[in-house]
Chain A
Amino acid sequence: MTATATAPRPLAPWVLVAPVQLMVGLIIFIPALYVLWLSFQSSSFGQQAVFVGLANYAQVLGDAYFWHALRNTIVVVLVVVHAELLAGLGLALFVAAGVPWRPVVLAIILAPYAVSEVSAVVMWRFLFDPDVGLATRVLQALHLPILEWSVVPADGLALVCLLSVWLNLPFTFVILYAGRLAIPTQLYEAAEIDGARPWQQFRRVTLPLLTPAMLIAMLFRYIFAFRLFSEVWLLTQGGPARSTEVLAVYLYLEAFRYNAFGVAAATGWLLVLVSLVLALWYLRRLYRDMARHA
């Protein structure tokens, strides 16, 4: 069809994609397969691996700490992703409706994107310090309960959620904001002429046309939120008494503290499976799209 399709050297594209494919294959894909193999073995550092079938999976699924970590992960993911989606939607519509000094407003909204998990933990720990934290003082002044995040597990997870939303809201916002700007203005003008009230415009124009962007933002955030590690590790290390562990922290402890590589590998593959199930819809749609254009 095009000149490139009949290019004299069909090897050229493979030479060009080779570095990327090699990096991804050697550093991510093969190790991931190796983890699968490892999950059927009993192994630890410097020991001969022994095939044990599904024993590691049985051990993981029989471990109360695993179920506790899974429950924590699901709660945090659900809270964080949906809070981000709602806040991101509100922000996107607010900014798209017209604000003064738009570049400045955008820079302010994007600022947390630049902050490392480590620095974010420093900031939020200080804000919610039970003795001198500004947020603690405000809560007390309003006669609200304060967050005892280092003692009460639910409070610890609440702070993790707050921290995660703060760090990741810029991403969700950008996706939704770009989606909102892509909606043609004429649609709103037509709705206005038809006498649609703002709420009706939102229900009939904005929401349906923004749904694809919302699904994409949600999907990416589900997948990435499931990996949550640093925030929890730096804030509570999963404590007190392993009560605030999430799956990635559970995996890390099994592997690097208890040297149970087989169990950690099984946990790892459960993590992968959850990610794949979450993304199945997206992958199927994407594959059809790409196959059609091939």
Chain B
Amino acid sequence: MRRRRPLARAARALGLAAIALWSLLPIAMMALSSFKADRDIFAVPQRLAFTPTLANYVGLAARWGDFFRGLLNSAIVTAGATLLAVAVSTLAGYAYSRYRGRALTFSAFFLIFIRLLPPIVITLPLFPVVNQLRLNDTHLVLILLYATFFVSLGTIVMRTFIDQIPRELDEAASVDGAGVLQIVGRVILPLCGPGMIAVAVFVIVYAWNEFLFAFIFTTTRAKTAPLVVSEMIGAVEGVEWGVLFAASTLQLLPILIFVVLAQKHLMAGLTAGAVKD
């Protein structure tokens, strides 16, 4: 099997190079260009050697104060949606792991069925309702929407993880007189950290990057970072590429670091949410 070693090694190196080029080149081009002066951004051909400048970031701060407010809004919305989604998914995941019953099974099926409804469809009726409740352009509406669109996946993932916690632990606590909420709080919670992190990773990446709902439901005060970046793409006075690269890079950097660090949990969550159901 290992007879053609040099050839196989060369093919493998080529494969790795292709993967790196495909995945990283677009990101690297953007990040590098954010440190380039305009004349270097538009240089033909592109050069790797250039004098780095922070001018684009300075320009971003000077002309697009909105963007930094957007980052703050994104952080608030992401934190809120994540806390909410993880909390309610854990409770429901516990119920679906430990209890059986026809109606309960049907309600679990309902949760999965819900994932098939496209988000854009429900914006039609929600738009007037949200306006009527004066919830448009608030953090709350995005928090609720983002959490809701991930609680069904979150519940499935949590059930898969809680299934692996022995029932004997619940039963021992139950014998000691603990109620259901106490069992969840004292027995399950300390043991299902990996599941909660897996759910959190999904929600964090989604809420930090989401465009459609932010586009439809926010206008000024609660605008998230991706929405501000999209406004920069469509700015009437023509695209300022350097500043746009700076904003895109700042929007991407924290979440990219997070995804790399949370790699294992992300992969575990993706598999628990898709394959086992």
Contacts and interface: CB of A to CB of B under 8 A. Distances in A.
A57 to B, nearest CB: 15
Contacts of B56: none
Main secondary structure of the interface of A (DSSP, over half): helix
What is the predominant secondary structure among interface residues of chain B facing chain A? helix
A226 interface: yes
B260 to A, nearest CB: 5
Contacts of A264: 124
Given A17-B95, A119-B248, A38 B125 contact: yes
B114 interface: yes
A27 B122 contact: yes
A246 B229 CA distance: 22
B44 interface: yes
Interface stretch (A59-67, A78-86, A123-131, A153-161): A123-131
B79 interface: no
Nearest to A178: B271
Contacts of A223: 115-116
Contacts of A112: 23, 26-27
Interface in A101-158: 103, 105-127, 131-132, 134, 137
B50 interface: no
B212 interface: yes
A91 interface: yes
B55 interface: no
Nearest to A223: B116
Contacts of A230: 211-212
- A interface, how many residues as a size bin? 35 or more
B91 interface: yes
A88 B167 CA distance: 38
A50 to B, nearest CB: 17
Contact of A272 (B121, B205, B227): B121
A23 B144 contact: yes
Contacts of A294: 100-102, 104-105
Contacts of A286: 109, 112, 277
B165 interface: no
Interface in A253-294: 255-256, 261, 264-265, 268-269, 271-272, 275-276, 279, 283, 286-287, 290-291, 293-294
Nearest to A19: B88
6 contacts: A16-B91, A32-B121, A114-B256, A174-B266, A255-B124, A272-B118
Given A24-B110, A112-B26, A122-B244, 8 more contacts: A3-B170, A17-B91, A17-B104, A23-B148, A38-B124, A108-B19, A118-B248, A293-B105
9 nearest interchain CB pairs?
A: A116-B209, A16-B95, A268-B121, A123-B26, A114-B259, A13-B99, A13-B95, A19-B88, A294-B105
